[in-house]
Amino acid sequence: MKSTRLWLLTLLSLLALMLQACTNSSICGDKSGEILDEALCVGRTADTLQSATEDYFVDMDYGISKDPAEIVKRLTPFIPGVSEEDAANAIIRGRNNWIVWTAGNDALWDELSRASFGNLDFLKTLSNHPNLKFSRDNRWQYLGLVNEPCYTKGDKPREDRYGLYLDQRDSSCELDPFENAEKYPGIEIGARGKNIAVGSYYGYGTGIVGLRLFPNPDFDEKAEAEWDAEKYYNDPSYYNRKDLVKPYRVGMSCGFCHVGPNPTNPPKDPENPTWANLNSNPGAQYFWIDRIFMWNAEVSNFAFQLFHTSRPGALDTSFISSDYINNPRTMNAIYNLGARLEIATKLGKEILRDGSLNNKQFNQLDGIPENSALNQFYKEPETVFTPRVLKDGADSVGALGALNRVYINIGLFSQEWLQHFRPLVGGKKITPFEIEVARENSSYWNANEMQTPDLALFLLASARPDYLKDAAGGSVHLTDDVAVLDRGKQVFAETCARCHSSKLPDKAFDFFPDNGCINGNYLKCWSNYWDWTKSDEFKEKMQEIVKADNFLENNFLSTEIRIPVTHLETNACSPLATNAVKGNIWDNFSSASYKNLPSVGAMIVQNPYTGEASQYTLPAGGVGYTRPASLISVWSSAPFLLNNTLGEFKWSGSVDDRMASFNNSIEQLLWPEKRNGNFTVITKSGKTHPGEIDGTTVTSFVKIDSGYLPDFLQPLTGILSRWLPWIFSDDGIQIGPIPKGTPVSLISNIDMEQRDKVFKVLLKLKKDLKALPENATDEQARQVFANLLDPLIKVSKCPDYVVNKGHYFGTDYLGVEPGLNDEDKFALIEFLKTF
């Protein structure tokens, strides 16, 4: 027993040292509340980080910026009396912020290349080296990333980029205006301005929309002397080093996850779009997170298996500040923001407390006219009326606060952010990121706050629906049978509109008193509303609304209200996310109303091996709810469900492929018996259907290359691999084997906050793995995990493993209401295509 404890303490110490080597440090402090961002560190204030003014993306978004009169029309309710010039300039600045402003987050992504032990390396993601599995030639198909127009493939080492194989600017195009270092002077810190050029604070274009290249301030004379580009691409012993300093860091804009092909005007060649083929708001529906965040896509690495559970277009946005839940969610399109704000005034009331009061609101900005609609979204001292952006409705502090939170999540002021958790792996107590500290110590934060209002105006003006009828060839997918469409409208009114229309009968809002029912009785309000939606009164009134000619006009096609996951029966891991609960990382970006939500009660979960059903009670305090997705342009956004698990993925982005995916996805939604998988899902109704559990696709290991271990251990890995073969390999740490078919979330959802229980489980896992013979078979390793199944489930933060279940509305699987017949389902589908 003593030797076991000594072994475990040694391993834990080793891991602690290894992770400490990856902890962010700064020349401007290393203590939370005192550390400065790189800009303020060298005396750059927010006023020196102004929005870019060039209308470089003029052809995007249906050419909205070419029509100032249309912009004024869309913005007048929010900015009465705005001139065409001011309106156009605001949305130009807002779009530039969305697509090229990275707010200093290149520091984060450089740090994560070490914290991920080299798995994530955006400098390689950008590259065209022949040894890589991807280049500009197949970047869209393989990675789902948008090739930026006006670049060509750099298939040779670039002398001006230290031998890196990066895309080159097409000489026939104008220069990238955001690279203008004279107009937008970069942050001169460390080696920048000494050993490497400073550049612009917008960085250099990379050839990928949403990624910008920045000179690395750590690339000093020593780093330059040791730099070898060919080894960086070819030699693992060189590039797998925690002390490797690369000449550039890569920054990420919001556009990286939101710019996509225009659904009605997609590029003929998806690898070579024009700006007119791209929109700012569809979301990265084709984004392969496993391939992007693991440049070498090594399937035997458990980290790849974890990312592989994210279907194209889905991403666990809490994977950096981990909440110990594998929770991939779709990157939703942004449509009809005006209608979304309107429904917020009726159902989106939230009360702010403590740090969440520090979020700026629309009517706290300079220059907002008294008669502006923006004045109705905040009432002093603590009340906001707000749309809820995250799927669990957590970011409930006002639209501007929700937008600002996104920038932190992709690295704004990461010097402070990383003090509050250990990135990727967790194991450290999480504390809140405080807005007050950011205002005091981050010029990037203050610059971002100044720019966010223009971004909001841009989204208000530009985020219009994409209609199938407007797409080339779209009409062949639409019916002209009036009777079928009328029947589809009736079915939608009676079955779907109660969650998927922001236009509702007036009485609907009475069920949520005080604009949202945040008085502690939310579940009762919700239940009463739902019961009423089954009545003839609701159905008759809703039919009148749906059959009106202007039903789709300015309709968000969602109610935005929080729905208990016990009612949806979808996978619980998204609504169980804890980043925004009291005292967690996003404490300042969630309301007191959210934090005080009651428990939704118990739901069915199933043993991932035996299928045995049990009841799991969800905790109170904010978790357990999901807001309904908007159905705007639903024809273009399949696969379905909040994790893209329902339906066939088609990579091209063409109208025909989008429709093929829509047809397959909507069929699985309305006929659950047609869903994929060999697991038998048990529903509340007692009916069963096929379902999927994401298991490892091959035998895998937790792998950490020796170059990321403490220096004194690196030469010993060969010896240690013979002493401790279940942990060390000749190349570093290798924990496993994790057998093929192991439910990924069985491991990824281990709640590290239950330290004593987790300690015992890992101790037994270590003992059983140690007992395995060398070159153990999958079956032998599978038995180890089978013996640990119950203990692993008990320490799981989300013991729900089926990913494509739930949303049984309109089907016989709901139980409490009769399902639609096939004729009604087909009529509904035809109506949905018109959205």
The model's pLDDT over 587-636, given as tens digits with 9 standing for 90+, comes to 999 999 999 999 999 999 999 999 999 999 999 999 999 999 999 999 99
Is the pLDDT assigned to residue 775 strictly greater than 90? no
d(CA 500, CA 372): 28
Q: What is the pLDDT of residue 709?
A: 54
Is residue 112 in some structural domain?
yes
Q: 605-608: which pairs have CB atoms within 8 A and are 24 or more residues apart? A: 605/572, 605/799, 605/800, 605/801, 606/679, 606/681, 606/682, 606/801, 606/802, 607/789, 607/793, 608/679, 608/693, 608/743, 608/746, 608/801
Number of domains in the chain: 1
Q: What is the pLDDT of residue 2?
A: 39
For the purposes of burial, counting CB atoms within 10 Å of the CB of 390, is it exposed (0-12), middle (13-18) or buried (19 or more)? buried
Segment 391-403, tens digit of pLDDT = 999 989 999 999 9
Is residue 653 in some structural domain?
no
d(CA 416, CA 38): 11
Is residue 289 in some structural domain?
yes
pLDDT band at 163 (very low <50, low <70, confident <90, very high): very high
Is the pLDDT assigned to residue 519 strictly greater than 50? yes
The helix-helix angle for 778-787 and 755-771 (nearest 10°) equals: 150
The DSSP code for 593 is H
The helix-helix angle for 2-21 and 755-771 (nearest 10°) equals: 110
For the purposes of burial, counting CB atoms within 10 Å of the CB of 478, is it exposed (0-12), middle (13-18) or buried (19 or more)? middle
**Pick from 409, 331, 449: nearest CA to 586:** 409
Q: Is the separation of the CB atoms in 515 and 377 below 8 Å?
A: no
Segment 534-574, tens digit of pLDDT = 999 999 999 999 999 999 999 999 999 999 999 999 999 99
Is the pLDDT assigned to residue 7 strictly greater than 60? no
d(CA 736, CA 835): 49
Is the pLDDT assigned to residue 16 strictly greater than 50? no
Find all residues with CB under 8 Å of 570, minimum gap 6, and list them: 626, 641, 642, 805, 806, 807
pLDDT band at 514 (very low <50, low <70, confident <90, very high): very high
Mean pLDDT of 764-779: 79
In angstroms, what CA-CA distances link 93 with 19, 50, 98, 479, 790? 40, 9, 9, 41, 54
* Token pair of 147 as six digits: 């090739």
Question: Whole-model pTM?
Answer: 0.93
d(CA 349, CA 179): 42
**Pick from 589, 105, 557, 509: nearest CA to 345:** 509
- pLDDT more than 70, % of the chain: 93
For 281: left if phi > 0, alpha if psi spans -120 to 50, otherwise beta; the answer is alpha
Is residue 246 in some structural domain?
yes
**Pick from 545, 535, 683: nearest CA to 611:** 683
Q: What is the pLDDT of residue 26?
A: 57
Q: What is the pLDDT of residue 11?
A: 47
The helix-helix angle for 68-75 and 443-462 (nearest 10°) equals: 100
Q: What is the pLDDT of residue 728?
A: 52
Is residue 280 in some structural domain?
yes
Q: Is the separation of the CB atoms in 738 and 781 below 8 Å?
A: yes
Is the pLDDT assigned to residue 354 strictly greater than 70? yes
Strand order in the sheet with 378-379: 349-351, 383-385, 378-379
Q: What is the pLDDT of residue 781?
A: 83
Least confident among 160-174, 652-666, 739-753: 739-753
Q: What is the pLDDT of residue 588?
A: 98
Segment 728-737, tens digit of pLDDT = 555 656 777 8
What separation, in Å, do the N-terminal and C-terminal C-alpha atoms of the chain show? 65
Is the pLDDT assigned to residue 435 strictly greater than 50? yes
Mean pLDDT of 267-286: 96
Name 728's bridge partners.
Answer: 733
Is the pLDDT assigned to residue 831 strictly greater than 70? yes
Cα dihedral 11, 14, 20, 21, rounded to 10, equals -140
Is the pLDDT assigned to residue 485 strictly greater than 90? yes
Residue 182 lies in domain: 102-310
Mean pLDDT of 19-24: 45
> How many CA atoms lie within 13 Å of 49's alpha carbon, on the beta-carbon side?
28
Mean pLDDT of 304-320: 94
pLDDT band at 748 (very low <50, low <70, confident <90, very high): very high
Is residue 462 in some structural domain?
no
- pLDDT more than 90, % of the chain: 83
Is residue 124 in some structural domain?
yes
Angle at CA of residue 72, ends 70 and 75, nearest 5°: 110
Q: If residue 21 lies in a helix (H) or strand (E), which one and from where to where?
A: helix 2-21
Q: What is the pLDDT of residue 676?
A: 98
**Pick from 600, 601, 615: nearest CA to 682:** 615
Per the prediction, the chain carries an average pLDDT of: 92
Is residue 766 in some structural domain?
no
